[in-house]
Structure 1
Amino acid sequence: MKRLILMRHAKSDWSVGMPDHARPLNERGRKSAVALGKWLRAEGILPDQVLCSSAARTRETLDLLSLADVPVRFEDRLYLAGPSTLLKSLQAADGDTVLMLAHNPGIAEFANGIVRHAPDHPKFAAYPTGATLVADFDIDGWQDAQAGTADSHAFTVPRDLM
């Protein structure tokens, strides 16, 4: 079995007047990222590999999760990636439990397309900032991951945690 933790970055700060790629998190986003890290640890859902967009807000989200030493691959192609790019990146992963940090709208489309059945949560389809899906794949290697084959294990949004 392989497990995917699919997380949209926490809430970013639109007031700073920076290029999109350089935009940091706002205060609510920082609190949300900390809460998501606590939730992952409390649930015992910890990655052994991270695939992260190179954008500032995904990097900051990752830092605030406060995960133990986990190998991280920052990928430019995950910045504003569509579902097919997200799947290709995942298929190249080598961890057993992979955290993928990326952006909407692609991450919402990917989340909706990767699971057999959507979690029973009113925010799943929209995939707001900080939304986190934990999905299990009955495969031996990530190269075999395909759309519509994962089982939803858990789903949360920061507002559920704070």
Structure 2
Amino acid sequence: MLRLILMRHAKSDWNHIGTADHDRPLNKRGRRAASALGDWLRAQGHVPDEVMCSSAERTGQTLMGLQITPAPQTRFIRALYLAEPRVMIETLHEAKGNCVLMIGHNHGICEFASLLVESPPVHERFADFPTGATLVCDFDVGSWQEVGWHQGRVIDFIVPRELTG
């Protein structure tokens, strides 16, 4: 069995005029959300041994805010920046860990989550996958190359507002 933690980056800062989208950092709320998500992952026992992260500044800052220890094998992947579901699953097929955290962006990550799970969680925010939304799902397969659409069994789904108020 393999576990995927699929996370959209935390809330980014739009006040950096002239900053390219790829280079936009998290805002204060995003930094708090990333920390809370890290606490939640540890409390639930969802600790990844591999991370596949978009190369964008806000995804990297989200990852750093999670404070995952011990530090998992991490790859920052340019192809995950604003990736479509096809690119995301191709990237996931390259994973080696037993519990993989993938951090990306909407709209692709929302569609990817919907395509991965056999049935969506009963949660009003799953359909729009807001910033910081995190899906945890298991796949009853022997390798990531075997993962396909509608195979994931949802274990958890949470959004930062449930953790930070």
TM-score bin, normalised by smaller chain: over 0.9
Helix, strand or coil: the match of 2:15? helix
- Residue correspondence of structure 1 range 1-162 to structure 2 within 5 A: 1-17=1-17, 18-68=19-69, 69-162=71-164
Distance apart, 1:83 and its partner CA: 0.3
Distance 1:120 1:37 in 2: 23
Helix, strand or coil: the match of 1:88? helix
Distance apart, 1:20 and its partner CA: 0.1
Distance 1:160 1:89 in 2: 29
Amino acid at match of 1:161: L
Amino acid at match of 1:157: V
Distance 1:98 1:132 in 2: 13
Q: Structure 1 runs of 4+ off > 4 angstroms?
A: none
Q: Identity of counterpart residues, as a percentage? A: 52
RMSD: 0.4
- Given the two structures, how large is their TM-score scaled by the length of structure 2? 0.98
Q: Can you give the 5+ residue segments of structure 1 that lack an aligned partner in the other structure? A: none
Helix, strand or coil: the match of 1:160? helix
Distance apart, 1:58 and its partner CA: 0.2
Amino acid at match of 2:9: H
Q: Deviations over 1:115-139 (max 9, x none)?
A: 0000010000100000000010000
Helix, strand or coil: the match of 1:139? coil
Distance 1:28 1:35 in 2: 11
Distance apart, 1:3 and its partner CA: 0.2
Distance apart, 1:15 and its partner CA: 0.8
Distance apart, 1:22 and its partner CA: 0.2
